[in-house]
Amino acid sequence: MQYTRLGTSGLKISRIALGCMSFGDTSQMPWALDDDGAEPIFRQAVESGITFWDTANIYGNGTSEEVVGRAIKKYTKRDDVVLATKLFSPMHDGPGGSGLSRKAVMEQIDASLTRLGTDYVDLY
């Protein structure tokens, strides 16, 4: 695997990212992969040296982050993954449910961290 720096941040990431939009609750997204279905992909990513994993709060209405969080615990160590997640799209109708206001950012990062089962993300 080749690695590079993320901009000028000094953060070292794999040149290939694991996009995690396709993981989550299959009842919400029939084309998605649940934990068992995603297992070979996570295993191959770890074995190939892919360290940059990307998800978002909206993917599967949060269920992608849940699958990714469980996969980190099962297949690797949190310190060995550069974890990215995103926000903006509507998660609920309340004032912190979408957008980039301070309220939304704070509410959505807390929810993402809970779903991911970690206390930090590397890129938001």
Residues marked active site are found at 59
Parallel, antiparallel, or unpaired: how do β-strands 52-54 and 82-84 relate? parallel
Cα dihedral across residues 94, 57, 27, 114: positive or negative: negative
Distance of CA 98 to the CA centre of its chain: 18
Contact, 84 vs 50, CB < 8 A? no
